[in-house]
Amino acid sequence: MIISPAYAQAAAGGAESSLMSFLPIILMFVVLYFLMIRPQMKRQKEQKSMMDALSKGDEVVTAGGILGRVIKVTDAYVTLDVANGTEVVVQKAAISTLLPKGTIKAL
């Protein structure tokens, strides 16, 4: 016979090589967590604390761009004074920004 039979041998460092093959995937998940998931969770926490801290007299901007002064706050809704005698009821989740006091001078 010209060709000698070949016998399978166990790969050297089998467990170590499988860990090394998963290392790039693990690193991608770590980078994804720190670049996308963690900042999003931080933004959600800040938004929730801002909504919980809403009180009468605060000046806010809604997601639709309406500026108004808070008149009444309930569990799920906020009543805004957007002009003299004009009140709008919006969901708390629609409040996007809390403005500094005195920003809205026309009301």
Domain around 26: 13-53
Report residue 98 as tokens.
């809390």
41 and 60, same domain (yes or no): no
The CA distance from 103 to 8, in Å, is 78
pLDDT tens, residue by residue, 12-39: 555 677 778 889 999 999 999 999 999 9
44 and 67, same domain (yes or no): no
Residue among 107, 96, 102, 103 at smallest CA distance from 47: 96
Q: Per DSSP, what are the bridge partners of residue 87?
A: 81
pLDDT tens, residue by residue, 55-107: 999 999 999 999 999 999 999 999 999 998 899 999 999 999 999 988 888 65
71 and 45, same domain (yes or no): no
